[in-house]
Amino acid sequence: MSGISDGMKKISSNTLKVIACLVMLLDHLTAGIMLPVVRAGLYPDDIPFEKIKLIYDILRGIGRNSFPIFCFLIVEGFIHTKSRLRYALSLLLFGIISEPFFDITFFAKKEVFNINFFECLSANLDHIWDRCNVYFTLLIGLIVIWAADFFIGKLREKFPIPLWASYTLAGLACGLGIFVAERIHSDYHGFGVGLIFIFYLLRYQSPLNLVAGYLELSFLGTEYYALPSFVLLYFYNHKRGRKIGNLKYLFYAFYPVHIFLIYVLRCLMYG
């Protein structure tokens, strides 16, 4: 039976990244264009609000399926990367780059359709800095599993501490990470950090890792719509796919670039 299951697992990590990016694009187009347009009352009068809300809910529901994939790939990247420090710094750098675009595209309340990005940013400075984009959630999750890996692995190799103690320390690291994510209001909050931690601890117990991860994330809003992504992850073949070298940074750049372009498109269409 395991042979049949393994034969069905044909999805590489590169394929998962592409799927997650496309789903995220759909989600952000809905949140970055459709939502502000509806709030401003700019939608056609002949379309009932209930119908627009239904379309919005469906599109955002589909969009819930990108984040679990990114969390899963953070663990895979942590395990296979040649430099964990460089991996963490890359997440930090692109998180900083993405932050102004994230804030203005999704949380601006004034000058929403102003094509002058800096004027829009200036008009919204009083409220946009109370949240952080998803890169910071992924970074905190990476640091948490880095600490867990040390406590469960390297620390026990050097000192004869009980297994329960090492797992307790790993759990405390996760708790601290969740606390930080909640304090800075990073995207998906502590639930995102917890999901990465679950994926790491149960990485050799599939599909238990997927079931536990889905149950944990389902406590957050409408994230129960993310079920298809967890099913998709079951068919991951633990292979990277075609080598892309430094082109991997295109996946990092996709996040800030597509968010900024959504902002520009919104302003060109309705400004």
What is the structure's pLDDT at 229?
A: 98
Residues 6 or more apart whose Cβ sits within 8 Å of residue 90: 249, 252
- Per-residue pLDDT at 30 exceeds 80: yes
Q: State pLDDT tens for residues 116-150.
A: 999 999 999 988 888 999 999 999 999 999 999 99
Q: State pLDDT tens for residues 144-175.
A: 999 999 999 988 888 888 999 999 999 999 99
Q: What is the mean pLDDT of residues 45-55?
A: 92
What is the structure's pLDDT at 240?
A: 78
What is the structure's pLDDT at 1?
A: 37
CB-based contact 104:117 (threshold 8 Å):
yes
Q: Is 81 helix (H, G, I), strand (E, B) or coil?
A: coil
Q: How confident is the model at residue 33 (pLDDT cuts 50, 70, 90)?
A: very high
What is the structure's pLDDT at 159?
A: 84
- Give DSSP secondary structure letters for 119-146: HHHHHTTTTGGG-B-HHHHHHHHHHHHH
What is the structure's pLDDT at 164?
A: 92
What is the structure's pLDDT at 9?
A: 79
What is the structure's pLDDT at 4?
A: 46
Q: What is the mean pLDDT of residues 107-117?
A: 96
Q: State pLDDT tens for residues 3-19.
A: 445 667 789 999 999 99
Q: Angle 96-98-99 (CA atoms, 0-180°, nearest 5)? A: 70
- DSSP-derived secondary structure letter, 152: I
Q: State pLDDT tens for residues 66-94.
A: 999 999 999 999 999 999 999 999 999 99
CB atoms within 10 A of CB 160: 6
Range of 179's domain? Answer: 2-270
- Give DSSP secondary structure letters for 216-265: HHTTSTTGGGGHHHHHHHHTB-S---S--GGGGHHHHHHHHHHHHHHHHH
Q: What is the mean pLDDT of residues 234-245?
A: 82
Distance, in Å, from the CA atom of 198 to the CA atom of 195, rounded to the nearest integer, reads 5
What is the structure's pLDDT at 3?
A: 46
What is the structure's pLDDT at 7?
A: 61
Q: State pLDDT tens for residues 188-226.
A: 999 999 999 999 999 999 999 999 999 999 999 999 999
Distance, in Å, from the CA atom of 174 to the CA atom of 11, rounded to the nearest integer, reads 29
Number of domains into which the chain is organized = 1
Q: Residue 259 class from Cβ within 10 Å (0-12 exposed, 13-18 middle, 19+ buried)?
A: buried
Please give the structure tokens belonging to residue 133.
């984009």
CB-based contact 40:22 (threshold 8 Å):
no
What is the rounded average pLDDT for all residues in the chain? Answer: 93
CB-based contact 20:233 (threshold 8 Å):
no
CB-based contact 217:246 (threshold 8 Å):
no
- Provide the whole-model pTM: 0.93
DSSP H helical ranges for the chain:
2-8, 13-29, 35-39, 49-63, 67-80, 84-107, 117-123, 134-149, 155-158, 163-183, 189-201, 208-217, 227-234, 249-270
What is the structure's pLDDT at 246?
A: 66
What is the structure's pLDDT at 2?
A: 44
